Amino acid sequence: MSDASDVHEQVRVRYAEAALSVRSGSACCGADDEAVFGATLYDPQVRGELPDDAVLASLGCGNPTAVAELREGERVLDLGSGGGIDVLLSARRVGPTGFAYGVDMTDEMLDLARANAARAGATNVEFVRGTIEDVPLPDAAVDVVISNCVVNLSTDKPSVLAEAFRVLRPGGRLGISDVVAEDHLSPAERAERGSYVGCVAGALSRAEYVRGLQDAGFTDVAVTFTHAVADGMHSAIVRAVKPGGRE
């Protein structure tokens, strides 16, 4: 599918359905996906500390809170926060003097995330409606940007990376999980391996990711493969720093 608005709507519908399935008590993910996407990528003890619906709604490909090296008192933004699992984990890591924001375009996921935050008793969180291409936060609002298998869903990745750069304070950092292609795969070959809503067709290659982050202004860029999700496609940890500030 080439039309960006159609892809956007397909993604929105898929994640709305996932949120509704969780709230109705049915599973949102197929068994075949569990080893590479979802809650099994989190430590069992961590999963046990969160509301079940936050865990069940996890459709990510990694655990960005484990690689973002969050610190007490920091402000964190999760791009495409879904059912809220990474926002809730971030809120715990940054403590009562810190804060965790989640932005999502899907009303059903926002409703689910807010209900999960209430169940968890989390008071240092806020879920806001918006797109990752146009984040509804001011410049230099956060210390860390995280995301879990969402950037690949966007049809305008330069805007996503530019927005991540904008909302970070100078010296702030990016620590996300995403699906990334090996450099030899063409866009057509990536599309053969899966759909946009399946987090595969829209994936950048490693070289494209590095170049995109550098073009947005980031330094210290690193893209590290963690596990395979399809032939030539991997879950990856993506790190980068916004220059300036105290770091």
Confidence of residue 191 (pLDDT cuts 50, 70, 90): confident
Confidence of residue 68 (pLDDT cuts 50, 70, 90): confident
Residue range 98-133, pLDDT digits in tens = 999 999 998 988 998 999 899 889 999 999 999 999
pLDDT at 182 over 60: yes
Which DSSP helix (H) or strand (E) runs through 101? strand 99-104
pLDDT at 180 over 60: yes
How many domains, the chain? 1
Residue 148 resides in a domain: yes
The rounded distance, in Å, linking the Cα atoms of 133 and 5 is: 13
Residue that the structure tokens 């699906």 belong to: 179
Of 127 and 60, more confident: 127
**Domain span at residue 200?**
4-241
pLDDT at 225 over 90: yes
pLDDT of residue 69: 87
Closest CA to 169 of 73, 104, 88: 73
pLDDT of residue 130: 95
Of 229 and 100, more confident: 100
pLDDT at 195 over 80: no
pLDDT of residue 37: 47
Residue 246 resides in a domain: no
Closest CA to 150 of 229, 78, 210, 220: 78
Residue 50 resides in a domain: yes
Phi/psi for 241 (5° steps) reads -130, 140
Strand duo 142-148 + 168-181: pairing: parallel
Task: Give me the CATH number covering residue 96.
Answer: 3.40.50.150
The rounded distance, in Å, linking the Cα atoms of 63 and 128 is: 21
Percent of residues, the chain, with pLDDT higher than 90: 50
pTM exceeds 0.85, yes or no: no
Residue 247 resides in a domain: no
pLDDT of residue 141: 98
